[in-house]
Structure 1
């Protein structure tokens, strides 16, 4: 799969620019095992890079112009590095413009390049194809021109490009996972301090399966902003009750329960979810280290139920997908992944049962919603890197 992608992108580069590319880079998408909606609530997340990639074929062209070709869209875009860089109407080009602008802003020098890129990361499935594009381009320029940027700096450039040139106020998890990913490892990341540690994630006879609902409800942005306001309001009230509390991390479930009348039903349920989810991430780390996949699966189902009933960011389609595997002996856990109101569920499934699950759930989903389900088998892979295997002569 990876080799085929590299060959196709290299061949396309030769077609576009008349020579083989000087460099190949691969930047992965990401999953999050557990820890949803806690990145902005002082919690930890547990992401990992996956074996779905944006592939970049790239060469220095000896000019001040960046020439881009999006193979999947069959679209080109060029910009002059000597001119001020601003966001334009072509959305995908803004990822590249943003990264180039931010590197220039740091006073770092690099030249014009020819780039062809293509992706095996499904669009709109919540697997962070945008972070892979930003971080892959920043990583490539850093390597090619010896800019001296750390992996953390590359991730932060990707995040800031998304904020300033794309207009999405994302957290750091997506970029961090894409850049820092390691094979068979999850990253326990503190989104506040960017402190992180790796934990084993070799699932033995189980594998990860993503079921893509193929829906994106319009509630995503408004719902997200509402939740942020509700939990901020809740934390302020809880701090009044418990002056020693600084963040959600300092709270216990008992303290939230005791404050139910003060918080009111909705805010109480939002805060209860956050406090429970922070604990679930820590429990999941222990379960992974002990290779206790049954406990990990139970935590995933508990997260889904919390997201659905208390945080209320699920939807009928995602609830259906989680419930469809809940009593299947071959599935240890499932939950919605990402912001909510659509996207994927992540499932921990016995390897030899994966195809049967896909077939059964696809049929049931089609009957219920008349939507064709997409399924992605994923493995935990290494982060953004230069592809060094010989590809000359392609």
Structure 2
């Protein structure tokens, strides 16, 4: 795929071994070969964490690891789901209307694996206004580690949405698909931005993408040729749909935006819900916004009652106009810390992009310092790191490599910027100092 806003290409998928295996298990299960196969990659975000839903640009790139979806068409309007991984149960459901598709968590509050498929299907059916001609038999194969911060869930939602549309002979541009898939994933309950879906559809080979919003655009960013980005798993899984941690941060950013708007004299209406909208309305620099946060959000903790007084609104209105269902019970919020992270992280993204184009002699050190700064902010201000992530970052630092958590956090992976000549030494250090010494792992598979 390339980053241009065009239809998704219909082409031969080159991952022949996985494709052949998927063809075989599909035929064994359903008795015929699939009509087509969809491939959607995972992603690693190099810098720009937790700011896409605040309206700020991010800098991810796609991974080789991907979701493959083999699809067969049926006259009966039914969805039959299977997974190559046999620990995931089979699932069948009728396709009457998108309103009838219910997405329920398991007894522990975690999403079933097929919930993400249902998000894509439900979103596609809503877009099609329930006008569908084919049911689907689907077999899924994914090699993106789940709950790792590498967008396995978003890739599955996107692959399912795209599969369903193609089965109904409907095609859309890449940016249209990315936007609709981002909306569809919110059926799972998380109020995320659109980064994962945008990079899934707009990625290009050998570069990252500088993704901006309103309108959605992706600009390729050439990374240093002597840089290797190493992704290392913390062995702590983090499913952002299983808790309200992610949504709490989203709501704290919204509340911060509302208060900054009110305190600076901007009309406090429903049009202002992101920190970037406040900046744009004031026509301020990011540095100006940091100063406004210090001025108007000085406290470490704000109670719900205080927020209602500042915004001159009722708790009931706050609950229904701003907060998500799984955050309405909260009585305290951290606003200053979240807003500072967003504005400072947005600054780091802009600096990273500029440095990539300027190519100073010490480019790897300068870019790496920005990544280290990002992790410190995520650890201290956004409070979404994990002791394993911090240990990986500290272990990296000891051998002169900069690293940061990537993805939502609370587990998952780090991404490290490593000089090419240091890669073997660095990977060996991670194996010995983190995986063996601290995690008692003695068998490794390195992709």
Fold agreement, TM-score > 0.5 = yes
Q: Which residue matches 1:112?
A: 135
Moved more, 40-49 or 255-264: 255-264
- SS of residue in 1 equivalent to 2:229: strand
Q: Which residue matches 1:67?
A: 80
Superposition pairs for residues 69-218 of structure 1, below 5 Å?
69-73=82-86, 75-82=89-96, 85-87=100-102, 91-105=112-126, 106-107=128-129, 108-164=131-187, 166-191=188-213, 193-216=214-237
Q: Are the structure 2 counterparts of residues 174 and 38 from structure 1 closer, same or farther at C-alpha, using a change threshold of 3 Å?
A: same
- SS of residue in 1 equivalent to 2:178: helix
Q: Distance in 2 between matches of 1:22 and 1:213?
A: 38
| Contact 1:184–1:200, Cα closer than 8 Å, also in 2 | no
| Contact 1:209–1:348, Cα closer than 8 Å, also in 2 | yes
Q: Of the two structures, which has the highest relative contact order with CA contacts closer than 8 Å and spacing of 6 or more?
A: 1
Deviations 1:33-60 (A, max 9, x none): 1111212323211122211111112222
Unpaired segments of 5 or more residues in structure 1?
Answer: 379-394
| Contact 1:251–1:275, Cα closer than 8 Å, also in 2 | no
In the alignment of these two chains, the number of paired residues is 374
Runs of 4+ in 1 over 6 A off after TM superposition: 217-220, 373-378
Q: Are the structure 2 counterparts of residues 322 and 120 from structure 1 closer, same or farther at C-alpha, using a change threshold of 3 Å?
A: same
More strand as a share of residues: 1
Q: Distance in 1 between matches of 2:444 and 2:422?
A: 14
| Contact 1:43–1:248, Cα closer than 8 Å, also in 2 | no
Q: Return the TM-score normalized by structure 2.
A: 0.74
Q: Distance in 2 between matches of 1:139 and 1:154?
A: 8
| Contact 1:212–1:373, Cα closer than 8 Å, also in 2 | no
Q: Distance in 1 between matches of 2:179 and 2:277?
A: 26
Aligned counterpart in structure 2 of residue 247 of structure 1, from 278, 291, 298: 278
| Contact 2:43–2:151, Cα closer than 8 Å, also in 1 | yes
Unpaired segments of 5 or more residues in structure 2?
Answer: 1-13, 107-111, 267-275, 301-334
Q: Which residue matches 2:391?
A: 320
| Contact 1:209–1:347, Cα closer than 8 Å, also in 2 | yes
Aligned counterpart in structure 1 of residue 427 of structure 2, from 349, 354, 358: 358
Superposition pairs for residues 368-379 of structure 1, below 5 Å?
369-370=438-439, 372=441
- SS of residue in 2 equivalent to 1:215: coil
Deviations 1:150-190 (A, max 9, x none): 323322332333222x2333221111211222212322223
| Contact 2:289–2:343, Cα closer than 8 Å, also in 1 | no
| Contact 1:95–1:162, Cα closer than 8 Å, also in 2 | yes
| Contact 1:211–1:373, Cα closer than 8 Å, also in 2 | no
